[in-house]
């Protein structure tokens, strides 16, 4: 087996990459909401933080009843306990990636984890 996995992602409402890429340390999803739409539920997590990257469009997240405006290029990290829901703007679709990892699990990164 090769030391990499590759997949192309369509513009589906949601694509989870865990199985498609055989991920072992994170879950990544690609999400697309049309203008005026929202994720149909509020949620939090037991132990995983989420990092959201706004790929295109604009909208908002409501986290613990606080509204956070979002636009392409924005990044937002939400702790496991944060109750969250995402909304596209009335006049714009929004596309975002979500990276889900266990909070406080990162032990080394960048040059400290590299073998040169």
Domain residue extents for the chain: 14-104
With tokens 């879950």, the residue in question is 27
pLDDT (tens digit, 0 to 9) for every residue of the chain, 116 residues total? 589 999 988 888 899 999 999 999 999 999 999 999 999 999 999 999 999 999 999 999 999 999 999 999 999 999 999 999 999 999 999 999 999 999 999 998 898 899 88
Q: Which residues have CB under 8 Å from 108's CB, separation 6+?
A: none
**How many beta carbons lie within 10 A of that of residue 8, not counting itself?**
6
pTM (whole model) above 0.85:
yes
Give the pLDDT confidence score for residue 6 in this predicted structure. 92
CATH code of the domain made up of 14-104: 2.60.120.10
Nearest to 80 by CA among 51, 57, 112, 59: 51
């Amino acid at each position: 087996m090769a030391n990499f996995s590759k997949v192309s992602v369509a513009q589906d409402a949601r694509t989870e990459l865990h199985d498609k890429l055989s991920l072992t340390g994170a879950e990544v999803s690609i999400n697309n909401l049309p203008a005026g739409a929202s994720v149909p539920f509020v949620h939090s997590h037991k132990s995983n933080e989420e990092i959201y990257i706004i790929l295109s469009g604009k909208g908002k997240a409501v986290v613990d009843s606080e509204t956070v405006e979002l636009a392409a290029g924005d990044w937002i990290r939400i702790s496991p306990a944060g109750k969250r829901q995402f909304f596209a703007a009335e006049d714009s679709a929004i596309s975002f990636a979500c990276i889900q990892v266990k909070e406080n699990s990162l032990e080394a990164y960048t040059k400290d984890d590299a073998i040169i």
